[in-house]
Amino acid sequence: MRKTLTQIYESRVASGDLRADPAQHAVLPALDSLRDWLEQNASRKIGLFAGLFAKPITPPKGLYLWGGVGRGKSMLMDLFTDAVAIPNKRRVHFHAFMQEVHHGLHAARKRGAEDALAPVADAMTRDLRLLALDEMQITDITDAMIVGRLFQLLTAAGVVIVTTSNRPPEDLYKDGLNRALFLPFIAQLREKLDICELESPTDYRQHRLTGAQVYFHPAGKAGPALTAIWSDLTGGAPGEPLNLPVNGRTVTLPRFANGVARATFWDLCAKPLGPADFLAIAQNTRVLILEDIPQLSASNYNEAKRFVTLIDALYEAKVRLIASAADIPERLYIEGAGSFEFERTASRLREMQAADWGG
């Protein structure tokens, strides 16, 4: 028998998988009605493809779900996306989506298309009714213009957009340059999406980690424990690489799902990455599972230096760190140039282990 999202949520509460949260509960009816509409209309041709004589069908407004970290926005979006019984749905991280759009624009311009966005939207809508975008962020005005117009083209073609964000639309690109140019985008968002705040007081991610061991040494045996933490925080998602744009380059996190990244020390500190890269990593992850931090010394000075920069960036951005290392923080770097500076890093590594740290 088909269950409503409210019923699915309630059975997950009953099984102990979720804690009952009135604020989350309150969002479910809106998602349920979007789901009903999608299931009833997914196979009909809508918008631009409806043909001359078909009765036009306008899709309902999508949803912009915003709120503090760990409140359950992505969990609710996944609950919804998984339950919608249509084949033409897609759930994607906002960064990955934008990267695709930029590639498409690039290819269209190369072919000499006058309006490069139209073919990108066309290709996207051909087989799509539901687009779920996780972690929407806008950090530059060009992206704002592209997304604004793209949302217009997608909704005109009958695509329903659901997205999560940590900020209300008015605060996207808050102190950005040329902010006035951004205001029409906010208006467009409000026109296409219902804005809904998830007002839960609980950061469930923090909650799940409270009391958990988060620093493991020696590193060798920590694998299963780290995998258990990964599964708990991502709902067992396999994870996929996340490419972050940094000054025209990309930095890759090898495994990412739902705000949680997993990488080895060597992935992040043995490559020529700098402060801007670590900043991008810190700004785009809530939890970093960092494996195999080795004993550091003058012989791997560059790696150690990058590690210090990485920890500083994570610390500033209040990212939760789960780590496996050769030894306790104070004994990771005990001799050679920079060992004095490392004291601060060791102290931060300690502080970041506290049950109430981050969030």
Ligand X SMILES: Nc1ncnc2c1ncn2[C@@H]1O[C@H](COP(=O)(O)OP(=O)(O)OP(=O)(O)O)[C@@H](O)[C@H]1O
Question: Judged by CB under 6 A, which stretch of 43-51, 69-77, 88-96, 337-345 contacts ligand X?
Answer: 69-77
Asked whether 317 and 280 are in contact (CB, 8 A), the reply is no
Strands 249-257 and 240-246 come out as antiparallel
Shortest distance, CB of residue 236 to Mg ion, whole angstroms?
16
95 binds ligand X (CB under 6 A): no
19 binds ligand X (CB under 6 A): yes
205 binds ligand X (CB under 6 A): yes
258 binds ligand X (CB under 6 A): yes
Q: How far apart are the first and last CA of the chain?
A: 39
Choosing from 24, 155, 284, 345, the residue that interacts with ligand X (CB under 6 A) is 24
Q: Which is nearer to Mg ion, 74 or 309 (CB)?
A: 74
Tokens found for residue 348: 């931060």
Q: Which is nearer to ligand X, 35 or 129 (CB)?
A: 35
Q: Which residue is nearest to Mg ion (CB)?
A: 74
Shortest distance, CB of residue 259 to Mg ion, whole angstroms?
5
Shortest distance, CB of residue 72 to ligand X, whole angstroms?
3
State the binding string over 291-330 for ligand X (x if CB under 6 A, else -): ----------------------------------------
89 binds ligand X (CB under 6 A): no
155 binds ligand X (CB under 6 A): no
165 binds Mg ion (CB under 5 A): no
The answer for residues whose C-beta is within 8 angstroms of residue 324's C-beta and 6 or more apart is 215, 216, 217, 218, 219, 222, 223, 226, 290, 291, 292, 293
The Cα diameter of the chain in Å comes to: 79
Choosing from 4, 8, 18, 41, the residue that interacts with ligand X (CB under 6 A) is 18
The answer for residues whose C-beta is within 8 angstroms of residue 344's C-beta and 6 or more apart is 308
Tell me: cis bond preceding 218? Omega within 30 of 0 counts: yes
Q: Which is nearer to ligand X, 231 or 247 (CB)?
A: 231
Helix 22-41 with 5-14: angle, nearest 10 deg? 140
Q: Which of ligand X, Mg ion, none does residue 292 bind to, with CB < 5 to 8 Å depending on kind?
A: none
**How many residues contact ligand X, by CB under 6 A?**
22
Choosing from 94, 204, 307, 333, the residue that interacts with ligand X (CB under 6 A) is 204
Q: Which is nearer to ligand X, 25 or 217 (CB)?
A: 25
What order do you get walking across the sheet with 249-257 strand by strand?
Answer: 215-216, 320-325, 287-293, 260-264, 249-257, 240-246
Tokens found for residue 59: 């899709």
Closest to 353 in 3D by CA, of 199, 157, 210:
210
Tokens found for residue 232: 């708990």
Alpha-carbon distance of 201 to 199, in angstroms, equals 6
Q: Which of ligand X, Mg ion, none does residue 19 bind to, with CB < 5 to 8 Å depending on kind?
A: ligand X
Choosing from 59, 70, 158, 169, the residue that interacts with ligand X (CB under 6 A) is 70
Between the alpha carbon of residue 11 and those of residues 3, 17, 21, 126, 323, the distances in Å are 10, 9, 13, 35, 34
State the binding string over 231-250 for ligand X (x if CB under 6 A, else -): --x-x---------------
Q: Which residues inside 68-97 make contact with Mg ion, applying CB under 5 A?
A: 74
Alpha-carbon distance of 80 to 146, in angstroms, equals 26
- Which parts of this chain interact with Mg ion (CB under 5 A)? 74
- Which parts of this chain interact with ligand X (CB under 6 A)? 18-19, 21, 24, 69-75, 135, 164, 166, 204-205, 208, 233, 235, 258-259, 286
